[in-house]
Amino acid sequence: MAVRDIVPEKVATLRAGKVPFYEPGVDELIDRNSERLGFTLDAAEAVAGAEFVFICVDTPPTYSGDADLSRVWTAIEELPVSRERLILVMKSTVPVGTGEKVRAALDARGLDSVGYASNPEFLAEGTAVRDFLEPDRIVVGAFEEADAEAVEQLHAGVDAPVVRTDVASAEMIKLASNAYLGTRISFINEIANVCELVGADVNDVARGMGLDARIGRSYLRPGVGFGGSCFPKDISFLKLLAGNSGYHFQLLNSVIEVNELQKRRVVGKLQKHLGTLRGKTVALLGLAFKANTDDLREAPSIVLASRLLAEGADVRAWDPVADASQVLKGVSFHDTVLETVTGADAAVVVTEWDQLRSLASTDTREAMRTPLIIDGRNLLDPDEVRAAGFTYEGIGRASSPLDVLPETEEPDQPFPERAPATED
Ligand SMILES: NC(=O)c1ccc[n+]([C@@H]2O[C@H](COP(=O)([O-])OP(=O)(O)OC[C@H]3O[C@@H](n4cnc5c(N)ncnc54)[C@H](O)[C@@H]3O)[C@@H](O)[C@H]2O)c1
């Protein structure tokens, strides 16, 4: 099997037996299969003799929020013209209708012997290997029955139901799945925000809801909003796809807006306890968009850090694997949690890294200027944190009384300082 990329450093790293990103288990997988795997920069070399060609290139959003399919088109244009029978399998997430366009482009190039199948990928970063090897379902949409059958047979060793559809439906299953998961997150975040106002605890609410078999427990964890390279763009793709097709997808507008506002709620929580943030020191713990990945794409930490800088705070940050130094200018980065919280007026749990479960220690309390923990992931036990001498504020849970406010300042400023327009 040949893997082709266009970035020489990535191919060199892979050839050296290393993985150019952080994803648990991928290195062992590559190591175990090294005899059967080759890495190359050359498209023709990668495709030579292949029965299946998987397109797995990135499909980022354009400035308009639509899918930028330029890499998909480049990969297809680079297919050598040959009469060899092969099946092009689309793994990248693409708008509905892409398969039709690819089919037409292949035919126009005389590649009518090349089959086409949509086989969307549902893995999540951080658990990618398990998700890929043990998926909940395999979706295959093809124009020709024989192509669908061949792609299904490729998955013969995988114990999962296969959903065979037309190409457009397969493309839609992927977009609709991510949009629905994002909707659940925005929904529980709004429930959390209301819980704060009415004195309910969202963790208990989510548990009580999730035990209903019609609802289920997954994706009902409130937090600082979703990020990553998939949900934000895929929801935008679906919203715009609907709009471009003449339908106003109202619900998704709300899902997106709730998520954007959620990323900023931590700022209000900090102001509630600290008053103005100008000159205050805030420690951001975790920068990756979620634990077990180094992916910073659309990470809530980026929005949060930018807002805090705009409010005049000194921002210190830590993440065990994600390197945000090229993205976040004006933030100081530290190697340990303890170093990061030293002298801080607040420690904010932004990513649910396991290392942060022991955050509420004596060392942390003594190192901080103000023992305030804002738990953006509800990772910690509020009672334990308070018993350890901290003021605790989670998401959708009862907050501590305002007992850490410096005497000279007022809590709950009705009109918080405006950030410079460029930061929004
Ligand atoms: N990351 C996820 O969790 C996830 C999950 C499911 C689906 N997807 C979808 O999979 C696709 C890829 O996502 P990703 O996160 O792996 O992106 P990525 O940016 O991490 O990786 C894409 C790779 O494709 C390479 N590339 C670009 N043009 C190429 C070309 N012409 N030939 C060969 N390689 C080329 C890039 O150099 C890069 O290494 C996207 O459509 C995404 O929506 C991603």
The distance of Cα 408 from the centroid of its chain, to the nearest Å, equals: 40
Please state whether 258 falls in left (phi above 0), alpha (psi between -120 and 50) or beta. alpha
C-beta of 92 in contact with ligand 1 (< 6 A) = yes
Q: Nearest Cα to 329, choosing from 345, 306, 308?
A: 306
How far is ligand 1, taken at its centre, from the CA of residue 84, in Å?
26
The CA-based angle 128-119-13, given to 5 degrees, is 45
Residues in a beta bridge with 331: 315
The answer, yes or no, to whether any atom of ligand 1 lies below 6 A from the CB of 339, is no
- On whether the CB atoms of residues 237 and 61 are closer than 8 A, the answer is yes
Secondary structure of 246-286 as H, E, C letters: CCCCHHHHHHHHHHHHHHHHHHHHHHHHHCCCCCCEEEEEC
Rounded distance from Cα 92 to ligand 1 centre (Å): 7
**For the chain, which ranges sit under pLDDT 50?**
404-424
Q: Judge if the beta carbon of residue 183 lies within 6 A of ligand 1.
A: no
The ligand 1 atom at the shortest distance from the C-alpha of residue 57 is 24
DSSP 410-422: -SS-SSPPPPPGG
Residues acting as catalytic residues: 230
Residue 330 region by backbone torsions, left for phi larger than 0, else alpha for psi between -120 and 50, else beta = left
Rg (CA), the chain: 24
**In this predicted structure, what is the pLDDT of residue 354?**
98
Distance (Å) from CA 232 to ligand 1 centroid? 15
Nearest to 304, CA basis, from 258, 347, 263: 263
Count CB-CB contacts under 10 A for residue 15. Answer: 12
Half-sphere exposure of 366 (CA within 13 A, CB side): 3
Q: What is the atom index within ligand 1 of the atom nearest the CA of 128?
A: 3
Per-residue confidence (pLDDT) for residue 408, from 0 to 100: 41
List, for residues 378-423, the tens digit of each pLDDT value.
999 999 999 999 999 999 998 766 654 444 444 444 333 333 333 3
> Taking the CB of residue 358, how many other CB atoms lie within 10 A of it?
11
53 CB under 6 A from ligand 1? no
Tokens, residue 132 = 């890929």
| pTM of the shown model | 0.92
Residue 59 Cα to ligand 1 middle (Å): 7
Do 81 and 69 meet the contact criterion of CB atoms below 8 Å apart? Answer: no
Residue 421: predicted pLDDT: 36
Ligand 1 atom closest to the CA of 125, numbered from 1:
3
Residue 411: per-residue pLDDT = 43
Distance of alpha carbon 220 from alpha carbon 333, whole angstroms: 31
